[in-house]
Every structure is written in C-alpha cells, then in structure tokens.
Chains A and B, each alone.
Chain A
Amino acid sequence: MASTLTRTTTRLSPLLAALVLAGCASVAPDGLRSAVGEHTEGRLPSQATLADPSPTARAQAQQQIAAWLQQPVDADNAVRIALLNSPALEAQMAALGMQDAQRVQALTLPNPTLTLGRFVNGHEREIERQLSFGLVSLITLPWRARWQGWQMEQATLTAAQQVLLHAADTRRAWLRAVAAQQSLQTAQTMHEAAAAGGELARRMARVGNFSKLEQAQELRVQQEAAAHLARTRLNAALEREQLARLMGLWGPQAGFALPAALPPLPQAEALRGGEDAEATALRERLDLRALRRDLDTTAERHGFARVGAIFGDIGASYSRNTATERGTRHDDVTRGWELDIPLPIFDWGGAASGAARANLQRSAAQLRDTALRARSEARSHWQRYRTAYDLAQQQRSEVLPLAQFMQDEAVYRYNGMFISTWQLLAQARATAQAVATATEAQRDFWLAEVDLQLALTSTSPGATPTLATSAAPATTEQGH
C-alpha cells in the first residue's frame, strides 16, 4: 500500500517524512503484553507473566501450572496461575491487541482515488483520469501517529490496570478461600461439640435423667450447629470455586490444595506507614497516568481542532485528461493538479473548537477528580488497613487468650461440679467461635492490604468496604 503511494506521489516529496511515519505504524507482535508488563513491573509477584497464546508457550505454561498445583497453592502462585491461565484476562489482552491493530489501521493513509471518465460528443471523445487523495490526512499523519501512540499507551495502561485488578481479585479470592476453609474446620469442631452434647442428652433421657424437653434443648443446639456447619461448608466451597474460576482451573485441576492457614499477621514494625500514602498514590497509580496521557492528547487536539474544522479535508488530485478528436484521431492531452478546498463561510470552526475546548476541560477535570479520589482512597484504605491490623491483632493477642482463659476456667468449674458437661461444651463452642472471628479479622487485614496496594500503586480498588465481620459477638450460652 505504502509502496504504491510512493510510486504515485513522486512529486509530493515534502510529505515523504509523513509517509515514513505511516510506514512505521505496525501491529505489536506480542499483542502489547510486554508493554503491559512494563506497567505491572513491581506490582505483581516475581516471575508473574501474562499468557502467551502461542502453542509452545501455552504448553510450557500448562506444565508450569501443573508443577505449581503439585503443592498447596500460596497466594503468589495463585496470582501467577491466574495471569497465565485466566481466559477472562486473555480475552482482555486480545482486546488490547485488537485495539492496537485498529490503531495501525487508523494510521494507514487512505488509498488514493482514481477517477476515470469517458465523455463522447459528436466529434470528440474525452477520457478523464484523475488520481486524488486527502492531503490533510497526509499532512497530519505525524500528529495523528503521536496521538494514536498516546492513546495506545493509555489503552495499555488501562489493560495493565485490568491485569492488576485481576491479580488483586485472585489474591482476595485466595484469602477468602483459605479463611473459609479455616472457618469450616472451626464449624466442624463446634458441630462435633454440639453432637456430643446431643448424644449425651439422648442417653440422659433414655435412662430418665433428662426430660424430653431438656433433651430437646440440647437437640436444638445440635441442629443449629448442623445448620451452621452446612452454611459454612457451602461458603467454603463457593469461595474456593471463585478462586478456581479466577485461576482458570477446572476439572481435576480444580482439586488443588490450599494451605491450612492464612499467613500470620506481620509485626507492627513491618506495617506500611501512612504518611506518604497520598504522594505514593499520585506518583504510582496507573489510572492517573492514563488520564494524564489523555489530557496531553486532548490538549494537542485542541490546537488542531480549529484548523481541521475550517479546512476539513483538503483534497489534492492529479488529472490527466485525453480528448480525442473523432475524425482526426488527434489526441489532446491535458495534465494538472487540482486542489479541493472547502471555504469557511458558514462553519468557521467555532463549534468544533468549542467541543474540543470542552473536551479538554473534561479531561482536565477527570484527572483532577481521579487525583482527588486517589488521595482519598490512599488515606481511607490506609486507615482501613491500619484498623484491620489493630482489630486482627486484638483478636490474636487479647480475645483469643481470653477465650482460652474462659475455656480453662470452664474446665475448672466443670471439675468442681459447678457447671455441667453441656455448659462446658457451650463454652467450647464459644471458644471455637472466637477462633473463627479471629480468623476473619486476620483475613480482613490481608484483604485490606490488597486494597491498599491497589490504591497506592495501581488503581482504584473500588468502594472501601467496612470491616464488619460476619461473625456475631460470641455469647457464652450457659446451657439450661
């Protein structure tokens, strides 16, 4: 295409540079994965790579995934698998590739138009040949190439955000799945305690030590524990399913193992400080970078808008007309250039210019708005992170020891025949509930950590959820 043009425009040498530029526009061979990778650098676990759709790479990736699935999947491996294996992410990357191709297409100059005419009158036959093309699109090619480049960078930044959000979603799903699995164990303990109490009550009623009502009261406890267990089991299955979906696993691979417990809470000294949160977010966030690019593009377009609007597309054409006298067969050839210039009589470009100005204002406002949100998110997610840590720490260092103390005291009271086996079991259930609540607090801290990372270095994690845990405060039911 370009070569054809070169041949036909030998006399349009000033435009050569533009044509070279246009020739440079080519589709990125890796579908911009490496460009996305540059943006996600340092924001993902080491060696986390995006899927390469080539068959060899795909086979290699599957091997690597199979190797990772040999042992319990930790959070980083879950993210690595998700990036390599998630069809949703692959679809997003393919869309980015498509966008790239469209960009290249947009930068390609329109094909010249060849107009042929044959006119006959009594004595003459006229053949008209005209080769024309839009001059402006050629002249503006360098600018357009630049904007398209920026737009592509913007699209790449957006895609990188999608990758980071997918990684964050996977990490969250992993945390939820592991915590749900832990809660399931607790629910099993609680159910076993209630079942033992229920069975003991049944035996009590059988020999006449319990009335049917007293037995029923223990049976109710058992039923509630069974219902709780069923709900917890479902929740664990659903959370696990969500993780499998994000990691792109199905079939036998979906039977992956998870670690028995969430990672322990970090030491307080290792926590991220909140002082530089806003500055970090403004510096690092990809959504802000994308909007800044957008603003650049819009600003440059603003200057161009008036000219473009007034002159529209200046058409340039080369004509070679041959008039042949029928009688003499004498050819009369005329050659010449023709420029097609719209006259700015009605539209002086005011509307287009106004739209461009408004567009610029919109871009600037969007950037300011997003910066405002980024600052606010940096602050609020840091606060949530810090509070989640304090709550989890309180659970671990204060609430659980207290629950253990109460458990020990319940045993002492049982030893002294101050309380019954059922009251002891009720305390055991309360202790198990305290363990579940502590696990949830630990999970909430790590979830808050994921959101904070997003808010500081990647993109908006969405609405800030509160820290309410599903577990109601554990009450020690004193049996009868």
Chain B
Amino acid sequence: MQRRTFFTGAAAAVAATSVSRVAMAALPEPISQASADTAAPLLPPNGRPYHPVVTLNGWTTPWRMNAGVKEFHLVAEPVVREVAPGFFVNMWGYNGQSPGPTIEVVEGDRVRIFVTNRLPENTTIHWHGQRLPNGMDGVGGLNQPHIPPGKTYVYEFQARRPGTFMYHPHSDEMVQMAMGMMGLWITHPKGKHPLIADVQRDYAFLLSAYDVEPGAMTPRVNEMTDFNIWTFNSRAFPAITPLVARQNDRVRIRVGNLSMTNHPIHIHGHEFEVTGTDGGPTPKGSRWPEVTADVAVGQMRQVELIADEPGDWAFHCHKSHHTMGAMGHDVPTMIGIDHSGLVGKIQKIVPDYMLMGERGMGDMGAMQMPLPENTFPMMAGKGPFGAIEMGGMFTSFKVRQNLGAHDYRDPGWYQPPKGTTAYEWQGAPLASQAPRQTAPGKAPGAPSVRKPHTDAADHAHH
C-alpha cells in the first residue's frame, strides 16, 4: 500500500508544473498533486538557498520568480484524500490534496500568493504566525472581503521572520478546517542564525482529526469532540510515512496542531528539545530535554534531536485513543466476560458473530474481518514481530547507519543485534499463585453490598 516514492513523486509534481513562460505576466499556473505519498524535498531552483523540509505524506509547492517576488498559486478545492489504505475521505484542500502544499520561503523573501476559490462557498487564507500588513492577515470581513467562489485574490507580503508556520481559512473556518483545509509554511533563516541549528533532516506535518461515519466518505463538520480519525497530515497509521534518519544526523521535526484537542507528541529511544514555536526559535536557556511535547490547539512545536540510537522507534501522539483507527466509543468493556454457552446462542441468531474483546482488544490487530465499506480497522499495521496494534497518529522514526544524506526511503525493518531483543524466560515458571486480592467485580475486603437502610435494627439480618 505504502508507496515510498520520495524522489520520483517530487519529480512528477515538478514536471507537472510546466509553468508557461509566455504567461509570466499572467496568473501562475496552479500546480497540483495527485499522490498522498511523501514527496521528496524540493531543492530551491532559484532564490536564496536553504535546506528544504520533508512534508510527511505531503509536498512542497514550486514557485515562480517574478521580478524578485516568489509567486505561488493556491487553489482551494474539494479533494478526495486517501487517509488510510482503502479509506478515502471527501475533503476540501488545496491543489489536489489535504493538507495543501507546504510553502517554503527564506527570511526576507517577498512573497505573492494567488488564491483561487473553487469551493462552493467563500474562503480566505490566514497566514498563521506571520508578521504582515493587517490587510494581508486573511480574516474575512475583518481584514478583507471574503473570496467568493470562482474568484482569485492576491496576498503579498514579506516573510519577515524565520520559523514554522501554517495557513488555514478564516472564512467559515469551522467547516473548512473540519473538511481538512490547512497547510504548512516554513520560513528558513537567511544565512546563519544563532538560535537555529543546521540539521540534516527536517520533517514537518500538521495534526488534524475528522469524524467520518464508518461507510461514509464526508467528515461530519458539526462534530466538536467525538472524532474517530486521528491523522498526521490527514493520514492515519499504517499509511503514514516513517521519519528516516542517518545515525547521528541532527533531525528537526515541526508539528502544528489544527485539530480541536491537544496532542502530546512522543518519541521513543531519544530525547529532544523544543527549539521553536510559532513565535520563533526558543532561547537556548529555555530549552530542556524531554521525550513528549504537548502541542496545544493552534500551536506549532519545532523539536530537535540527535538520531544517535539505531532502530525503529515509535513516534506518536501519547493519547492512546489517538493511536487508534475508527472505533465506536460506546462499546462496553468486554474484558473478563465468560462467554461460555453464549457465543453459540448468538451465532444461532447472527451466524457471523465472533467473540471479541473478552481478553482485551489486542486481538483486533491480528483479526481479518469484513468491515463496513470505506473504513479501516481500529488497529492495524504489521511489524517484524507481529501486529503493531496501532492506528491513527502513529508512525516510526527509523535510524540507520550508512544511509545516503538524501536518502529518505524506508530502510525496512530494523535488525537488532543478537541478544538485544526482549526474549522469553526459559527457566522455571512462577511457582506461587499470583497474589490476588479478590475476584473481578468485588472490591477487596468490601463487605457484601448493602442497601441503605433506615431501619437501625438491620444488623440482625446480616
């Protein structure tokens, strides 16, 4: 399912550009992306040089230089996004995908963005975190007229400070963000910056959540809390590309949150520092090491680490439900339920009934059962040791020796050196009974349940 075509994908996107030379004075041709795979980093063909980012399951839009101004063309339009293998969602996005293409510029660049509205309703774009003239901030009604369907508006400003930013609509924002309208904006520093380190790998993605009824295709835009699709860049595990690093590379990961809840983003095997927010690079004295950074709603976090431990390291949101695919939230806990004699009875009525959950839900990761159409299992993904039992906001951070500097391809499963993997105890089994307080369903030492009595003489009954 996973097509890891980092370089070829980008080449295709660029080839599709074909910016008409004669049309330089006219509206730039919008460039569209058909694939939800991770595109290769776009090395800047002109303008000031920088080290490009890799957008997880996304791409960076090429631009056109027009009299020293970098011109981009974003088209707001309905798209169909493959969120997980075989699971397609009707979204609104930009230039063929949700999220839209990453815009990469350099500090000091003059930027002109054409925004064409092909949605059925008004839109605008707000350039989240940018210093810019008030009239370019993109809040419909407040700073500018809304962009009606079919119209093209132009935004123009200077990218004044380096950092990690995003863009999203500020016109019927609730609906348009629930439908997946968002994108990343990276402003690279002009030359050396004392607070911004050089990195060998620079990854970026946005966090978003959707509520899609199993079997349906369109997110329920009115949902506020009960989402069931948790994504990095509108992709859910196992469809999210792994983050790949050569051993000892300095790796920067930029995460923005446009969902309606916070996400503690967690890495295994390494510790990182938050080196920047959407307010800019953090002072060195304020940085401390951690393995989980909470990214609140509307925030961006830029973390950095040295990838010095080879292996396949989990990288995910630490809210455990956010590492699950679509699931019902009203299903009672079945753990520890004795089903003897009942499964057959239920199968008499529902022949395809299978017992699930009586030992926990881990079995779900290995089960292959028919699901409603256009949905994906609650947990999926196979690793070298079996089912990974994850879905949603989960991927892996793969550190290898001897990778090419520009090699972002999935290196496959990590082969741990002999004797470095957890193993089964082969000695004598545990001799004593597991100490147990009481049977399930009864609190230890609790008296048998008593109804409240008004009668003081009730002790006689016990």
Give every chain A residue within 8 A of B327 (Cβ-Cβ): 416-418
Let me know if A196 and B345 touch, CB within 8 A: yes
| B334 on interface, CB distance cutoff 8 Å | yes
Let me know if B372 and A193 touch, CB within 8 A: no
Which applies to chain B's interface (DSSP): helix, strand, loop or mixed?
loop
Partner of A416, one of B346, B353, B371: B371
| B339 on interface, CB distance cutoff 8 Å | yes
Let me know if B357 and A417 touch, CB within 8 A: yes
Give every chain A residue within 8 A of B378 (Cβ-Cβ): 416-417
Give every chain B residue within 8 A of A420 (Cβ-Cβ): 328, 330-332
Give every chain A residue within 8 A of B339 (Cβ-Cβ): 200, 203
Let me know if B335 and A409 touch, CB within 8 A: no
Give every chain B residue within 8 A of A425 (Cβ-Cβ): 346, 349-350
Let me know if A417 and B328 touch, CB within 8 A: yes
Would you give the shortest CB distance from B221 to chain A, in whole angstroms? Answer: 20
Q: Given A412-B372, A416-B378 in contact, is the A428-B350 Cβ separation under 8 Å? A: yes
Give every chain B residue within 8 A of A416 (Cβ-Cβ): 214, 326-328, 369, 371-372, 375, 377-378
Partner of B328, one of A196, A206, A419: A419
Let me know if B346 and A196 touch, CB within 8 A: yes
Partner of A203, one of B330, B337, B442: B337
What is the number of residues of chain A that contact chain B, defined by CB distance less than 8 Å? 36
| B452 on interface, CB distance cutoff 8 Å | no
Beyond the given A204-B334, A412-B371, A420-B330, could you list 11 further A-B residue pairs with CB under 8 A, ordered by the A residue number? A203-B339, A206-B441, A207-B337, A207-B440, A208-B441, A411-B353, A413-B372, A415-B371, A416-B371, A417-B331, A417-B364
Let me know if B352 and A411 touch, CB within 8 A: yes
Complex CA–CA separation, A210 to B350 (angstroms): 23
Let me know if B353 and A424 touch, CB within 8 A: yes
| B457 on interface, CB distance cutoff 8 Å | no
Let me know if B371 and A480 touch, CB within 8 A: no
A-B contact pairs, 8 of them (CB 8 A): A196-B349, A204-B337, A207-B440, A412-B370, A416-B372, A418-B328, A419-B328, A420-B330
Complex CA–CA separation, A421 to B350 (angstroms): 10
Would you give the shortest CB distance from A410 to chain B, in whole angstroms? Answer: 8
| A192 on interface, CB distance cutoff 8 Å | yes
| B342 on interface, CB distance cutoff 8 Å | yes
Which residues between 69 and 102 of chain A lie within 8 Å of chain B, taking CB atoms? none
| B150 on interface, CB distance cutoff 8 Å | no
Would you give the shortest CB distance from A121 to chain B, in whole angstroms? Answer: 110
Chain B, Cβ-Cβ closest to A212: B449
- Residue among B328, B356, B439, B440 facing the most chain A CB atoms (10 A cut-off): B328
Which residues between 384 and 425 of chain A lie within 8 Å of chain B, taking CB atoms? 407, 409-422, 424-425
Let me know if B345 and A192 touch, CB within 8 A: yes
| A214 on interface, CB distance cutoff 8 Å | yes
| A469 on interface, CB distance cutoff 8 Å | no
Let me know if B337 and A200 touch, CB within 8 A: yes
| B192 on interface, CB distance cutoff 8 Å | no
Give every chain A residue within 8 A of B441 (Cβ-Cβ): 205-208
| A128 on interface, CB distance cutoff 8 Å | no
Complex CA–CA separation, A113 to B184 (angstroms): 129
Complex CA–CA separation, A209 to B354 (angstroms): 19
| B199 on interface, CB distance cutoff 8 Å | no
Give every chain B residue within 8 A of A208 (Cβ-Cβ): 440-442
Let me know if A409 and B346 touch, CB within 8 A: no
| A162 on interface, CB distance cutoff 8 Å | no
Complex CA–CA separation, A214 to B350 (angstroms): 22
Would you give the shortest CB distance from A200 to chain B, in whole angstroms? Answer: 6
Let me know if B342 and A196 touch, CB within 8 A: yes
Would you give the shortest CB distance from B218 to chain A, in whole angstroms? Answer: 17
Which residues between 346 and 385 of chain B lie within 8 Å of chain A, taking CB atoms? 346, 348-350, 352-354, 356-357, 361, 364, 367, 369-372, 375, 377-378
Which residues between 107 and 130 of chain B lie within 8 Å of chain A, taking CB atoms? none
Give every chain A residue within 8 A of B332 (Cβ-Cβ): 204, 209-210, 214, 420, 422, 480
Would you give the shortest CB distance from B84 to chain A, in whole angstroms? Answer: 13
| A199 on interface, CB distance cutoff 8 Å | yes
Let me know if B371 and A209 touch, CB within 8 A: no
Let me know if A424 and B328 touch, CB within 8 A: no
Partner of A193, one of B334, B349, B371: B349
| A189 on interface, CB distance cutoff 8 Å | yes
Complex CA–CA separation, A419 to B327 (angstroms): 8
* Chain A to chain B: the 3 pairs with minimum beta-carbon distance, closest first: A418-B328, A415-B369, A208-B441
| B336 on interface, CB distance cutoff 8 Å | yes
Partner of B326, one of A203, A204, A409, A418: A418
| B333 on interface, CB distance cutoff 8 Å | yes
Give every chain A residue within 8 A of B336 (Cβ-Cβ): 207, 209
Give every chain B residue within 8 A of A410 (Cβ-Cβ): 350
Q: Given A409-B215, A413-B328 in contact, is the A209-B334 Cβ separation under 8 Å? A: yes
Complex CA–CA separation, A189 to B326 (angstroms): 31
- Residue among B331, B342, B353 facing the most chain A CB atoms (10 A cut-off): B331
Complex CA–CA separation, A414 to B342 (angstroms): 16
Would you give the shortest CB distance from B237 to chain A, in whole angstroms? Answer: 16
Complex CA–CA separation, A411 to B364 (angstroms): 15
Give every chain A residue within 8 A of B334 (Cβ-Cβ): 204, 209, 421
Would you give the shortest CB distance from B340 to chain A, in whole angstroms? Answer: 9
Give every chain A residue within 8 A of B424 (Cβ-Cβ): none
- Residue among A208, A414, A418, A420 facing the most chain B CB atoms (10 A cut-off): A418
Complex CA–CA separation, A432 to B353 (angstroms): 16
Would you give the shortest CB distance from A186 to chain B, in whole angstroms? Answer: 11
Give every chain B residue within 8 A of A412 (Cβ-Cβ): 214, 369-372
Give every chain A residue within 8 A of B439 (Cβ-Cβ): 207
Give every chain B residue within 8 A of A203 (Cβ-Cβ): 337-339, 342
Would you give the shortest CB distance from B213 to chain A, in whole angstroms? Answer: 9
Complex CA–CA separation, A193 to B361 (angstroms): 24
Give every chain A residue within 8 A of B440 (Cβ-Cβ): 207-208
Give every chain A residue within 8 A of B361 (Cβ-Cβ): 417
Give every chain B residue within 8 A of A199 (Cβ-Cβ): 342
Q: Given A209-B334, A412-B372, A415-B369 in contact, is the A192-B328 Cβ separation under 8 Å? A: no
Complex CA–CA separation, A203 to B356 (angstroms): 15
Complex CA–CA separation, A414 to B370 (angstroms): 10
Chain A, Cβ-Cβ closest to B370: A412
Would you give the shortest CB distance from B388 to chain A, in whole angstroms? Answer: 17
Partner of A209, one of B333, B346, B349: B333
Chain A, Cβ-Cβ closest to B352: A411
Would you give the shortest CB distance from B357 to chain A, in whole angstroms? Answer: 7
Complex CA–CA separation, A250 to B43 (angstroms): 96
Complex CA–CA separation, A207 to B356 (angstroms): 17
Complex CA–CA separation, A428 to B378 (angstroms): 24
Let me know if B357 and A418 touch, CB within 8 A: no
Let me know if A480 and B350 touch, CB within 8 A: no
Give every chain A residue within 8 A of B357 (Cβ-Cβ): 417
Let me know if B342 and A200 touch, CB within 8 A: yes
Complex CA–CA separation, A417 to B214 (angstroms): 11
Chain A, Cβ-Cβ closest to B335: A209
Give every chain B residue within 8 A of A204 (Cβ-Cβ): 332, 334, 337
Would you give the shortest CB distance from B211 to chain A, in whole angstroms? Answer: 13
Give every chain A residue within 8 A of B214 (Cβ-Cβ): 412-413, 416, 418
Chain B, Cβ-Cβ closest to A407: B350
Q: Given A409-B215, A417-B328 in contact, is the A189-B349 Cβ separation under 8 Å? A: yes
Let me know if B350 and A415 touch, CB within 8 A: no
Would you give the shortest CB distance from B196 to chain A, in whole angstroms? Answer: 45
Give every chain B residue within 8 A of A206 (Cβ-Cβ): 441
Partner of A415, one of B337, B354, B442: B354
Complex CA–CA separation, A19 to B439 (angstroms): 106
Let me know if B350 and A419 touch, CB within 8 A: no
Give every chain A residue within 8 A of B371 (Cβ-Cβ): 412-413, 415-416
Let me know if A421 and B346 touch, CB within 8 A: yes
Would you give the shortest CB distance from B209 to chain A, in whole angstroms? Answer: 17
Complex CA–CA separation, A425 to B353 (angstroms): 10
Partner of B337, one of A193, A209, A414: A209
Complex CA–CA separation, A420 to B333 (angstroms): 9
Would you give the shortest CB distance from B325 to chain A, in whole angstroms? Answer: 9
Give every chain A residue within 8 A of B354 (Cβ-Cβ): 415
